A and B are shown apart, each in its own frame.
Chain A
Amino acid sequence: MWHETDSAGAAVRGKSDWPFYCGLGLLTSVYLILIVTMLLAAGSYTTWGHLGAAFSSPAIRYSIRLSLLSCTLTTLLSLCVGVPTGYLLSRFRFPGIGVIDALLDVPIVLPPLVIGLCLLILFQTSPGRWLQGWVPITYAIPSVVLAQFTVSCAFAVRTMLVTFDQISPRCEQVALTLGCSRTQAFWTVALPEARRGILTAATLVWARSLGEFGPVLIFSGATRMRTEVLPTTVFLELSTGNIEAAVAVSLLMIVAAVVVLAITRAFGVRGHREFLP
């Protein structure tokens, strides 16, 4: 196929396409080389000994567990909110939809530190304080999930909105004419069709939460064995000059990211392609 188009094009136009292909290849490889050398450089800054020492530290183990648990919970919560919100915005038109659409993008555009600060201030207001009388949030584990959720949910909403936009409402309309209620049409037609989009949203949210640092630092603090997630560990190890442990934990996060990408690919979903607004 490659040869066919190449020779056919060359015969008609009398010009070679090779410079074009070379240009494409060159520009792509520049970025690939950057990614690969970056990973190799990080890898060269640590040894098996450092990795072993890092992963036998109880604080780092705690942060691995907390990261995995909080990211998974964040993912589920984001889907619970993101799927219906995306469906609502995609299928229905009502006054004020433009404002809602814009508001839902705010967490994506706001700098992470600002989100953390806003959350911190929110929970010092009197309703926030009242709530904290029941459940401690600021500087405790719930704040980690809340900080991750605030940012990641916006990505879930965006992904699901695009997903439902790409699914023709025709099938649901047919279901309605056949006697389905709106609820039934959603559960039996729209949701199964959006399966791949949901999976994309889930991986995107999970990976995004794993790397979330700005809001967590401000809103949850950097307390060892309490609100310490993996990016916090990297930060804490760096702040005591233990660069080797910081790199070891970074490598772990790189591996986790690669695994997530591999899972996404295995289910045949092309990364963020469906996410592009």
Chain B
Amino acid sequence: MVSEIFSNDRRRRGAIVRGWLVALGMIAAVGVLVLLLWLQGRAGAQARGEGSDTLLVYCAAGIKPVAEEAARDYLKEFHTTVQLQYGGSGTLLADMQVARVGDLFIAADASYIRIAREKGLVSQTVALAKQRPVIVVHKGNPKAVKGLADLQRPDVSVAMANPEAASVGRVAQKLLEKTGQWKELKQHVRVFKPTVNDVANDVKIDSVDAAIVWDSTGRQYPELELVHVPVLEAGVETVTIGVLVYAKHPERALAFANYLAQADRGQKLFAKYGYETVAGGAASRPATESTH
């Protein structure tokens, strides 16, 4: 009896030691994982060539292909990493007010930069490129969409960007409100999405027949066909970059903004991805004022 209790006691103590081993093992495993994550972060930073010079750029989702390539080139040329944060222009505007960090804001149209300036978020601005809303349909235009009237046909389903979140939605709303077509079209629109690319995707995978997107976005999709409409054409908007007041080194931020506006650098990329550049002949046409 006594020996039984004794042996039990010993076994129990063995188990207690195992308990502490579990605890220690757990701490060690957490330590190892933290280390691995830290190394992962460093590897990522190295892959991006990141040094101490990093610019955080809030970038309208539609501009992503240009911004990504420009960031790569900029890193090669000036050893400054450009970190890109994507979203709809309106969404980003809200994000940066909460986060209160960042160096630059690329908006799909100048109005967001204006709002940012009014809120005291942006100091200098640089115009980058022009884009205008168009209707896009699947290649070959199977539903024969020729104009805005066709968008209201019962057999044509339509996607649009959310006017509160994305620039193209807001611009299209403004234009169509002037012609009195907005109310009807809004009823007919099957889905509103948060960014211009989400809308173009819907047409690409055939979940809708037509959508209103930027002409530049439409040109980036080989599966899509552009239908130009005079009412929408009037809505030329200027892709604009602004230096944020949160920037620790505003002069470095401005340098990247100017790089994007430089004819043989950023502008070449904008042209490559189907944008009308500001450096070209179109620069004389004032952007936002031409909206009648």
Contacts and interface: CB of A to CB of B under 8 A. Distances in A.
B16 A187 contact: yes
Interface residues of A, number: 43
Q: Most A CB atoms within 10 A — which of B33, B38, B197?
A: B33
Contacts of A69: 33, 36-37, 40
A121 B98 contact: yes
Nearest to A240: B64
B98 A240 contact: no
A196 interface: no
A62 B221 CA distance: 26
Most buried by A among B68, B85, B205: B85
Contacts of A58: 47
Interface majority SS (helix, strand, loop, mixed), chain A: helix
A34 to B, nearest CB: 18
A256 B128 CA distance: 43
Contacts, number: 106
Interface residues of B, number: 47
Contact of A243 (B8, B18, B65, B201): B201
A226 B40 CA distance: 9
B26 A76 contact: yes
Given A62-B44, A184-B16, A188-B19, A241 B221 contact: yes
A86 B287 CA distance: 61
A60 interface: no
A88 interface: no
A114 interface: no
Contacts of B65: 240
A241 B48 contact: no
- A66, A138, A191, A226: which has the most chain B beta carbons within 10 Å? A226
A222 interface: yes
Contacts of A226: 41, 44-45, 48, 83
Contacts of B22: 187, 191
A121 B15 CA distance: 45
Interface string B80-109: 000111100000000100111100000000
Contacts of B99: 120, 124, 138-139
B26 A241 contact: no
B168 interface: no
B30 interface: yes
Contact of A225 (B18, B19, B37, B48): B48
Given A139-B56, A188-B12, A120 B40 contact: no
B47 A62 contact: yes
A236 interface: yes
B220 interface: yes
A141 B198 contact: no
Contacts of B200: 241
B64 A187 contact: no
Contacts of A121: 98
A117 B99 CA distance: 10
Given A73-B33, A225-B48, A241 B85 contact: no
Pick the most buried of A77, A121, A239: most chain B CB atoms within 10 A of its CB.
Answer: A239
B34 interface: yes
Nearest to A192: B15
Interface of A: 58, 62, 65-66, 69-70, 72-73, 76-77, 79-80, 117, 120-121, 124, 138-141, 145, 178-180, 184, 186-188, 191-192, 218, 221-226, 236, 238-241, 243
- Per CB-CB distance, the 8 closest pairs between chain A and chain B, nearest first, are A187-B19, A73-B33, A188-B15, A225-B44, A141-B41, A239-B197, A221-B85, A239-B61
